[in-house]
Structure 1
Amino acid sequence: MEHSWESSVEESINAIYLLFSAYLVFVMQLGFAMLCAGSVRAKNAMNILLTNVVDAAVGSLSYFLFGFAFAFGEGPNKNPFIGTSYFALKDVPTASYDYSFFLYQWAFAIAVAGITSGSIAERTQFGAYLIFSFFLSGFVYPVVAHWVWSSSGWLSPNSSQQLFGSGAIDFAGSGAVHLVGGIAGLWGCIIEGPRVGRFDAFGKSVIMRGHNATLVVLGTFLLWFGWFGFNPGSFNKILVAYPNTVDQGHWTSVGRTAVTTTLAGSTAGIVTLFGRRMLAGHWDALAVCNGVLGGFVAITSGCAVVEPWAAIVCGFFAAWVLIGLNVLALKLKIDDPLEAAQLHGGCGAWGLIFTGLFAKEEFIVQAYDAGLAGAQGRAYGLLVGGRWGLVGAQVVEVVVILVWVSVTMGPLFYLLHWLRILRISIDEEVAGLDISSHGGYAYNAHEEEDSAPRFYGDYVRMHNNS
């Protein structure tokens, strides 16, 4: 059956919108790179930058060869692991649209590995990083994406048999992306242990500041910019007719989604600013950056289905979740250089619960029932007049992600540790990953260059002579 001219235009606009959103999400890799580079010490800057490049490169191959099929590849006579079967999918309507959808989902997949890299920065062997990055983006994350976003996923709100009559609403991935990356990073932190010198002989924490606050702030704003593709872009098709309304399609909700994203991140940043002022006695710009990101992470689940005022509530509590988990991490001697496990894991879990409390019925219909004959009587937010079904589904998603990532990434990290290929030696860590693994420092005018050896072999000889 031939497409009408109007259908072709609609498909083209949808594809262009999705590709543009994919480009914005990909810009977040640059944001991750700047944030990570600024948050580590100068002697490890080149290493963390390389891991961010590897996320994109390795993720491209692992997600194409395996990940996309695990997440969305369905249908008769389709190879579920490799090849062009990816571009004949149940969840994507037309062949011309498949490639845009793949690219957008790939940008999400590589973001997961970027989250985990921050948790285990400054002490991980590069070879081990290649292994777990491939496994995480090619298998662990795609399975969760299938549960939540595929029309046959058992947690999906688009499933024909919705869990508790609603399915779990994780619109842009507070759980599927951020909680997965955060829990994976947590297991890496626990199994590797803290960096040398992070805690003194009495167990008291020792501050290890990143070397460049400018890069941290730059990375934060790049991530903020990219989030406008991450959240509003998750309306994969913007030209979809709503039933019995004058609205033209999903594009009517895109602006509101961008606003809720902005309000949640801004609120979390302000609350973190004053919260850290009360706890530390000074204004902390770097903590505010993480607070802003924590608000974005939390709102990502419900950005399309909540009112703007609810986004402010989301950001307020996300800030305190982050602050509280950072305090707890210090007490438990968990060393996460970028607070990634607390930020993405903790705020991601809160975002899922928040959605179950504040999701509005009208917006759920717009996001998930557009194009149908009418609403499906979905459960909606408990605190805005809804039932317990949605809250229950959100809690289930939190629990199953925690279990799934723990039983996959936990053993993988332990195996790498057992094989002694996970963590670098103490000497290499003291010298810095740049000089021990990458041939020299990231900066020509390194602040310690006059007194430090230029190559790791020189460092070893100096150390042995002393």
Structure 2
Amino acid sequence: MPYDEPYEPAEPYKPPSNLPNINCPLRWLSVGDIPLYLGLIGLTMLEYGICRRGFGKHIILKNWLQFSVGITAWWLVGYAFAFGDAYHNEFIGRRFFGGDEWLTQKEKYHGSCASYFGLSGIFVVFIINGAIVEKVRFVVYPIISFCIMAFIWPVVVAWDWGGGGWLMIEFQEFEAAMVDFGGTIQIFLVAGGFGLMGAVISGRRAGKYEKLTEKFFNIGNYVIYALGAALTMLGIISLTVSLAPTDSSRGLGAVNSWICGSLSAITSYMIILMFRHDLNTHYISIYQGFIAGQVAIASSAFNTTPWQAGIVGIITGIWFILWYSVGNWLKIDDPINIAATFMMPAGFGTFLPGFITDSYGCFWQDSKGYFLAAQTAAALTVFPWALAWGAIIFGFLKLFGLLKLDNKLQVKILENEENKLKDENLAI
């Protein structure tokens, strides 16, 4: 791309000696595309399964439209902002727009990088969907996908994964840097913060949190919901292991993810069993409790012990149920419980590398807390960034009357659910 000044490539950023290798394991990115793509199908099925029957066909259509819009935006500008050499300003990249130089710089493996991280960005988009589904107009979904993939998410990626961003280099003198191999911060915290603003600003669905109609908001199809959750878990495994620095750490990351998810699911189910006895809540506590555990350990799994992963799983199970209950108590209509499943576990998991990872966690090494400080700086920057952009975009859409699904249509859908339930009862 031509610039006003001749472009001189910056020296590649070299991490301190006690940091894991931050260079992308490119052969694993290509393999990781497959389970990550299946994870996107899983999020779609999770959304389809938990929603009411009248919305199913629209969910399948709008998710593929979002995928197409998002990948196009990523190719044209997003990838350049994320990976286009942010060394010069430590904020955002400035090269590779529209695939420029991809063919001439074969040693950089732009194709593998663009494909894997493009799917990772769509993972962010599909998580956000869960906070607004059944509540917003169809046009909202492609708008969100474009904004996330063109600018909002690529900027966050440039700060760390892009190499040379400020979150990667500001702590160099202290031999520390932000650690986010599994996307705890750059995927789950971003999606959770943006989605939370969407859930709040879009308001409640007609009939939600009303005693006589609450039953119509239970899981619509338990089989599809369960299969979707299982595929989502596979996608998170891909995020956890694909960027891990060594082959041995990938295997450890995978098993720690399963352990943490399992203990989180068991804990959340045992807690909910003491207070609730409906099938809907039991499904959510087990399946989404498992996902919450995977999210929490994602960036620590490759470099910690299985016992620690189990303890983190127990804590996450309690954490998940706490925030699931708080969301219901506050009557925030978050259809797929994005805040409890992704945002709050990611918030917890953001700080874990600074504590428990055995190479530089302050419980194991005399690190003087610098890694923990780097994680804190990342959280205090990335999360407000996601919240602010969520407020701006959803706020503007609401201001111009483009956000909320017409209330009369919602009431009609609610009445259809009542009639279907009556017909099913008569058939039985």
What is the TM-score with the length of structure 2 in the denominator?
0.84
Superposed CA deviations along residues 264-321 of structure 1, whole A, max 9, x for unmatched, are: 1111111111011122146712321000100111111212222222111221111122
Against the structure 1 CA distance between its residues 86 and 154, is the aligned structure 2 distance closer, same or farther, given a 3 Å change threshold?
farther
Instruction: Quote the residue 2:111 is aligned against.
Output: 99
Among candidates 196, 199, 216, match of residue 189 of structure 1:
199
Q: Which amino acid aligns with 1:83?
A: G
In 1, the alpha carbon distance for the partners of 2:422 and 2:216 equals: 23
What is the TM-score with the length of structure 1 in the denominator?
0.78
1:217 pairs with 2:232: no
Against the structure 1 CA distance between its residues 431 and 191, is the aligned structure 2 distance closer, same or farther, given a 3 Å change threshold?
same
Among candidates 121, 128, 136, match of residue 140 of structure 2:
128
Superposed CA deviations along residues 357-394 of structure 1, whole A, max 9, x for unmatched, are: 10111xxxxxxxxxxxxxxxxxx212234431112221
In 2, the alpha carbon distance for the partners of 1:255 and 1:280 equals: 37
Among candidates 398, 403, 406, match of residue 379 of structure 2:
398
Instruction: Quote the residue 2:39 is aligned against.
Output: 28
Against the structure 1 CA distance between its residues 113 and 449, is the aligned structure 2 distance closer, same or farther, given a 3 Å change threshold?
farther
The correspondence of residues 165-184 of structure 1 with structure 2, limited to 5 A, is 165-184=175-194
Q: Which amino acid aligns with 1:210?
A: I
Superposed CA deviations along residues 137-177 of structure 1, whole A, max 9, x for unmatched, are: 22111111111212211112xx3853854111111211100
Among candidates 401, 409, 426, match of residue 407 of structure 2:
426
The correspondence of residues 338-357 of structure 1 with structure 2, limited to 5 A, is 338-357=336-355
In 2, the alpha carbon distance for the partners of 1:101 and 1:230 equals: 13
Against the structure 1 CA distance between its residues 140 and 449, is the aligned structure 2 distance closer, same or farther, given a 3 Å change threshold?
farther
Structure 1 residue 220 displacement after superposition: 1.5
1:65 pairs with 2:76: yes
In 1, the alpha carbon distance for the partners of 2:96 and 2:408 equals: 42
Among candidates 79, 83, 98, match of residue 83 of structure 1:
98
Structure 1 residue 206 displacement after superposition: 6.6
Structure 1 residue 407 displacement after superposition: 2.0
Structure 1 residue 134 displacement after superposition: 0.9
Deviates more, 1:381-390 or 1:16-25: 381-390
Instruction: Quote the residue 2:325 is aligned against.
Output: 327
CA contact (8 A) 2:285 2:321 kept: no
In 2, the alpha carbon distance for the partners of 1:448 and 1:32 equals: 26
In 1, the alpha carbon distance for the partners of 2:358 and 2:306 equals: 11
In 1, the alpha carbon distance for the partners of 2:127 and 2:96 equals: 25
Q: Which amino acid aligns with 2:362?
A: L
In 2, the alpha carbon distance for the partners of 1:47 and 1:168 equals: 39
CA contact (8 A) 2:241 2:250 kept: yes
Instruction: Quote the residue 1:417 is aligned against.
Output: 398
Instruction: Quote the residue 2:6 is aligned against.
Output: none
Alignment gaps of 5+ in structure 1: 1-13, 239-249, 362-379, 436-440, 452-466
CA contact (8 A) 1:112 1:137 kept: no
In 2, the alpha carbon distance for the partners of 1:198 and 1:325 equals: 18
Instruction: Quote the residue 1:258 is aligned against.
Output: 254
The correspondence of residues 369-384 of structure 1 with structure 2, limited to 5 A, is 380-384=360-364
Instruction: Quote the residue 2:7 is aligned against.
Output: none
In 2, the alpha carbon distance for the partners of 1:329 and 1:76 equals: 41
| CA RMSD after TM alignment | 2.9
Instruction: Quote the residue 1:456 is aligned against.
Output: none
Aligned residues: 392
Structure 1 residue 403 displacement after superposition: 1.3
Instruction: Quote the residue 1:295 is aligned against.
Output: 293
In 1, the alpha carbon distance for the partners of 2:174 and 2:307 equals: 27
Against the structure 1 CA distance between its residues 252 and 131, is the aligned structure 2 distance closer, same or farther, given a 3 Å change threshold?
same
In 2, the alpha carbon distance for the partners of 1:81 and 1:69 equals: 5
Larger radius of gyration: 1
In 1, the alpha carbon distance for the partners of 2:179 and 2:37 equals: 24
Among candidates 151, 163, 170, match of residue 163 of structure 2:
151
Q: Which amino acid aligns with 1:171?
A: F
Structure 1 residue 75 displacement after superposition: 7.8
Against the structure 1 CA distance between its residues 316 and 75, is the aligned structure 2 distance closer, same or farther, given a 3 Å change threshold?
closer
Give the secondary structure class of the aligned counterpart of 1:383.
coil
CA contact (8 A) 1:164 1:393 kept: no
Deviates more, 1:400-409 or 1:384-393: 384-393
Among candidates 135, 150, 171, match of residue 138 of structure 1:
150
CA contact (8 A) 1:40 1:122 kept: yes
